[in-house]
Amino acid sequence: MDIHEYQAKELLSNFGVNVPPGALAYSPEQAAYRARELGGEKWIVKAQVHAGGRGKAGGVKLCDSETEIQEACEEMFGRKLVTHQTGPEGKGIYRVYVEGAVQIDREIYLGFVLDRSSQRIMIVASSEGGMEIEEISAERPESIVRSTVEPAVGLQEFQAREIAFALGLESALTQQMVRTLQGCYRAFTELDATMVEINPLVITGDRRVVALDAKMSFDDNALFRHSAIAELRDKSQEDPREARAADRGLSYVGLEGNIGCIVNGAGLAMATMDTIKLAGGEPANFLDIGGGATPERVAKAFRLVMSDSNVQAVLVNIFAGINRCDWVAEGVVQALKEVQVDVPVIVRLAGTNVEEGQKILAKSGLPIIRATTLMEAAERAVGAWQNDQTQATTVRAV
């Protein structure tokens, strides 16, 4: 789960990270009022969307007056902000964050991520802040500092000092940097985060270390331990299909293809998507319905997949281990009777009671295309989609 910049800053400030004063606004008039409350002569107005690259897309404006603030907000509110991270569909702007401008002497990149190869939290820092980490890696790879944290002892002060030294910070700023690093690490571990990123972390003209921007992501599976974090979720920034799936206990990721996938098991789902591409198609989604493929759960999955207007065929790929293929087949038949599915449906069953499951599908009288292997299922799904495309083209031509 991602959260907004202002939310991340509030959380990090609770762990001792220095952030500039700011205020949230839901209208141009409220933004101007927030600037009066903050005081000062210059302000930054930031669109609050779950994406990086806001500045290049016009989502961050420097304003010298309340009139400029209102004009900037008029341009932002209600529009879609399109960045390299949002894709062409963009993300809607419904709130902005107003901050007093800060005199910047130097910018630094700072990130905390889970490094799966070392199974440790890795700190990634660079003296070339203000750019995306991908740009830094490509253009200034020598500037990147990496340091993994031993979980048994956590981030030690000497380790934080080493990072500060590697970034070339003057001795007077070292302790502030240590406090920032340790605060981010504590926030990462205590809140079950999967990513903490401050870009840029700036050295101000009055020699302070300040988080000018902040992003945080959290482990969805740990949100039950953090009800206050779960309440920060903004569904307007999520793919509506993924939001519906999460509300129904399904693991779903929307993609750009046209063959919907209903699979039990994340690994099998990944293999299914790969096989569809190998067969010449494009998957429309990743969908793991989990181990309990009950009729009700299968029906939810079909409704979710069919809510995507791009879906032109559905591939059901179930390996029954704990489950039984006859139960799954009954679920598929029941789901197809309850849910309006007007595209080809391909079903591949394997595992416990597979013969009984195939008999149930055959006797159902429904136009289900059956397959015995994953490759066969993928080829039939792609073939069914291509046939539908050909027929649709023929009808239009006639």
**Domain annotation for the chain: domains and CATH numbers:** 20-101 (3.30.1490.20), 103-237 (3.30.470.20), 240-390 (3.40.50.261)
Predicted local confidence at residue 394, as pLDDT: 47
Residue 327 has pLDDT above 90, yes or no: no
Tell me which residue of 111, 23, 114 sits closest to 73, measured CA to CA: 23
Per-residue confidence at 326, pLDDT binned at 50, 70, 90?
Answer: confident
The strand order across the sheet containing 60-63 reads 22-25, 96-100, 43-47, 60-63
Predicted local confidence at residue 390, as pLDDT: 62
* Distances 318 to 287, 368, 374, 383 between C-alpha atoms, Å: 12, 15, 10, 20
- Which has the minimum average pLDDT: 9-23, 76-90, 177-191? 76-90
Predicted local confidence at residue 123, as pLDDT: 96
Helical packing angle, 171-190 and 157-166, nearest 10° = 120
Tell me which residue of 62, 94, 79, 74 sits closest to 28, measured CA to CA: 74
Spatial separation of the C-alpha atoms in residues 117 and 121, rounded to whole Å: 10
Mean pLDDT across 25-48: 94
H-assigned helices in the chain: 5-13, 28-38, 66-76, 133-139, 157-166, 171-190, 227-230, 240-247, 266-278, 295-306, 325-338, 354-363, 374-397
Per-residue confidence at 374, pLDDT binned at 50, 70, 90?
Answer: very high
Predicted local confidence at residue 275, as pLDDT: 95
Residue 139 has pLDDT above 60, yes or no: yes
Per-residue confidence at 237, pLDDT binned at 50, 70, 90?
Answer: confident
Residue 391 has pLDDT above 90, yes or no: no
Predicted local confidence at residue 187, as pLDDT: 97
Tokens of residue 218, six digits: 């959290």
For the annotated binding site for Mg(2+), the residues are: 199, 213
H-assigned helices in 279-324: 295-306
Helical packing angle, 5-13 and 171-190, nearest 10° = 110
Higher pLDDT, 300 or 395: 300
Higher pLDDT, 336 or 154: 154
Residue 228 has pLDDT above 80, yes or no: yes
CB 188 within 8 A of CB 201: no
pTM, two decimals, is 0.77
For the annotated binding site for ATP, the residues are: 46, 53-55, 99, 102, 107
For the annotated binding site, the residues are: 46, 53-55, 99, 102, 107, 199, 213, 264
CB 204 within 8 A of CB 103: yes
Using only the alpha carbons of the chain, give its radius of gyration. 26
Q: Are strands 345-351 and 313-320 parallel, antiparallel or unpaired?
A: parallel
Predicted local confidence at residue 201, as pLDDT: 95
Tokens of residue 145, six digits: 């500092």
Mean pLDDT across 84-107: 89
Provide the mean pLDDT of the chain: 89
- The segment with the largest mean pLDDT, out of 84-88, 297-301, 325-329, 378-382, is 378-382
For the annotated binding site for substrate, the residues are: 264
User: Which residues neighbour 75 within 8 Å (Cβ) at sequence distance 6 or greater?
Assistant: 58
Model pLDDT for residues 332-356, shown as the tens digit of each residue: 888 888 888 888 999 999 988 899 9
Q: Are strands 43-47 and 22-25 parallel, antiparallel or unpaired?
A: unpaired
Mean pLDDT across 374-382: 94
* % of the chain at pLDDT higher than 90: 60
Higher pLDDT, 327 or 378: 378
Model pLDDT for residues 181-220, shown as the tens digit of each residue: 999 999 999 999 999 999 999 999 999 999 999 999 999 8
Residue 396 has pLDDT above 60, yes or no: no
Mean pLDDT across 121-139: 85
How many helices (H) and strands (E) would you count in the chain? Answer: 13, 18
- Say how many residues make up the chain: 398
Spatial separation of the C-alpha atoms in residues 32 and 215, rounded to whole Å: 25
Q: Which residues are catalytic?
A: 109, 197
Mean pLDDT across 52-74: 91
Residues pairing with 23 in the sheet: 98
Predicted local confidence at residue 135, as pLDDT: 80
